Structure 1
Amino acid sequence: MKTFKIVALAIAIVTIVQTAKSQELKGNITISGAFALYPITVKWAEEFKKIHPNVKIDIQAGGAGKGITDVLSKVTDIGLVSRELNSAEYKKGAYAVAVTKDAVIPVISASSPYKKALYEKGVRKETFNNIFITGKYKTWNALGLKSDAPIHVYTRSDAAGAAETWASYFGKKQEDLLGVAVFGDPGLAQAVKRDPIGIGFNNIVYIYDMKTNKATNGVVPVPIDLNNNGKLDPDENFYGDIDQLIAAIISGKYPSPPARDLYFVTSGKPNNPIVKAFIKYILTNGQQFVNEAGYIKFSKEKLSKELEKVK
């Protein structure tokens, strides 16, 4: 009788192990798109593969435009999109799940001779509009600075969520932005970094160093004069480190846009079990990595709402 019980137990254990193996995730996920989402998506993939080592995840950054094009043409499983989707994209079958939040920030070079003055005055929204949209302001003295130097404006050459979001701050589209067009967030940051009289815009993670939480990547934020009083008040100066900026975005002090949700987009509601499992992981256990990576964590209510989309 004792021998029978041992044999039965052994059979049960083998059955459980075989069942677990048969349920183990195995396969590939292909992802492309927004530079804004690339760093955190790489982190999520690394952590997900620790749990599911037989899943291979290929991620390529190339801009939100590439992300939406690739996924709708079914070249990839997931498109990374760092802007709101439009009606035409939804009609083509785009299915968006918000996974985190960040913001687009205007930037100048850390070596800019105007940095001190700009942090005393701030820059009004209308001034940014006259730099990036109308082109009315062509020299730095138009901002009340004692300099006839031209303003070198930089924008994105690729179809970019950052550019679309920055333009939407002024009620415009990416194609309305003026400036020298540069590919990608890293490229734009480098262009502004090298140009003391330049101005551009970047996602948070390309401005701040994640180890120090400071803007030590060669570009610094241009503070927005939110109340248009011609000076940067203490409650408007939240750019000292990434924690202050994130708190301002969460509280709504930093405007939205250019703060925005970031999306994983699939072609139709996802039914691939590996893709579904990855998105579910991101909206649950994966959220523990969001803040430390320089992004904004959603509320429990928002996460629950997004999880419903992949059930």
Structure 2
Amino acid sequence: MRHSTTLILAVAATLAVSGCGSGKEQKSISISGAFALYPLTVKWADEYKKAHPDVKIDVQAGGAGKGITDVLSGVTDIGLVSRALSPDEIQKGATPFSVTRDAVVPTISATNPLVKDIQATGVKKENFYGIFISGDVKSWSQLGFTSKDPIHVYTRSDAAGAAETWAAYLGKKQQDLKGTAVFGDPGLAQAVQKDPDGIGFNNIAFVYDPATKQPSAGVVPVPLDLNGNGHIDPDEAVYATLDQVTAAIAAGKYPSPPARELYFVTKGAPNPVVTDFIKYALTEGQKDVTASGYILLAPEKITEGLNKLK
């Protein structure tokens, strides 16, 4: 009995030291989800922690599907979601906060021998449909190019906002996309980069280097021939640099979809620590948006998000 009492007192003392030794309550925020929003969220977390060193923030990428599943099941405090929420998700308590905008762009390998021709003519929406949905377009020659090589199509294996957004541009759902399925934005970019005849799609954060503003990772964007005239007009030529494509998205020159808003999602009202971090993203954190290769929210969207937090 004496030993048990001593043990209980020792444990109590240990808990008192670990819980109160610093005089501060341990604070943490767990975040998971869309690859599209991951780089900017990491930047926000790093900057926020400079002013709030007592707050631990864990950010993990895994796709929009993982983000919404994790937050609704209580595994994380914030889900990163790169698509609009479904009515069912809203009914389950999902509360979205728009924090920035970006877009999905179709991509080919920088080693594709037709790069210059493809960039000059672009690809019509109906032909993207034939490549990714119906499967009727199987070779580059069917697009009017000299090569008779087959087109190797790549898509996402995970439930992804990028895939859902690209499919929405073609009037379909992610499950309708054809191609070899690859996990994650980095994996899809790498698969296309290694295949001279490959075509896929990526969030712009995984196509352009935010430092150089140039296409990176060995992939280049495929221009959308929006008016279907068989060549890229000056107002459609918006892909040379990150600044150029983000300006086009902000000005509405790039269609939506595949341009879209990106969301922090909580289950119901967030706790005070999470609330403060979301407020930071919508206010001070907006200074990092453009430099990180994303598009600023409209002022009314920021106001809408802040009002949700009250």
Q: Structure 2 length as normaliser, TM-score? A: 0.91
- The CA deviation at 1:26 is 4.5
CA deviation vs aligned residue, 1:108-144 (integer Å, no higher than 9, x gap): 0011111111112111111101100000001110100
Instruction: Report the counterpart of residue 287 of structure 2 in structure 1.
Output: 288
Q: Which residue of 2 aligns with 1:267?
A: 267
**Could you say what secondary structure the match of 1:261 adopts?**
strand
Q: Which string of whole-angstrom CA distances, capped at 9 and with x for unpartnered residues, describes residues 13-32 of structure 1?
A: xxxxxxxx98x885010111
The equivalent residue for 1:7 is: none
DSSP-derived class of the 2:305 partner = helix
How many equivalent pairs are there?
Answer: 289
Identity of aligned residues (%): 64
Q: Structure 2 matches for 1:214-253, cutoff 5 A?
A: 214-253=214-253
1:303 aligned residue: 302
Looking at structure 1, the residues matched to 25 and 97 of structure 2 have their Cα atoms a distance apart, in angstroms, of 21
* Post-superposition offset of 1:215: 0.6
The code of the aligned residue for 1:296 comes to: I
The aligned amino acid for 1:169 is Y
Letter of the 1:133 partner, please give it: I
- Unpaired runs of 5+ residues, structure 1, are 1-20
Note if contact 1:25-1:52 (Cα within 8 Å) is conserved in structure 2.
no
Q: Distance in 2 between matches of 1:51 and 1:26?
A: 15
Q: Which residue of 1 aligns with 2:15?
A: none
Mapped partners of 2:25, 2:241: distance in 1:
40
Tell me the C-alpha RMSD between the 2 structures.
1.2
The answer for the alignment partner of 1:201 in structure 2 is 201
Structure 1 runs of 4+ off > 3 angstroms? none
1:253–1:25 Cα change, 3 Å = farther
SS at match of 1:199: strand
Which letter does structure 1 place at the counterpart of 2:27? G
Q: Structure 2 CA distance, aligned partners of 1:34 and 1:227?
A: 31
- In structure 2, the residue matched to 1:75 is 75
TM-score by length of 1: 0.91
Identify the residue that residue 9 of structure 1 maps to in structure 2.
Answer: none
Q: Distance in 2 between matches of 1:171 and 1:213?
A: 31
Q: Residue 154 of structure 1 corresponds to which residue in structure 2?
A: 154
1:303 CA drift (Å): 0.9
Q: Which runs of 5+ in 2 are unaligned?
A: 1-21
SS of match in other structure, 1:111: coil
Indicate the residue corresponding to 2:275 in structure 1.
Answer: 276
CA distance in 2, matches of 1:26, 1:286: 23
Secondary structure class of the residue paired with 2:304: helix
Q: Is the 8 A contact 1:25 1:55 kept in 2?
A: no
Return the offset for 1:53: 0.4
CA distance in 2 between counterparts of 1:164 and 1:213 reads 26
Equivalent-residue separation in structure 2 for 1:244 and 1:139 (angstroms)? 30
Conservation of the 8 A alpha-carbon contact between 1:29 and 1:56:
yes
Following superposition, the deviation at residue 216 of structure 1 comes to 2.6
SS in 1 for 2:29: strand
Q: Residue 299 of structure 2 aligns to which amino acid in structure 1?
A: K
Q: Offset of 1:269 from its aligned partner? A: 2.1
CA contact (8 A) 2:190 2:217 kept: no
Aligned to 2:174: 174
**TM-superposed deviation, 1:189:** 0.2
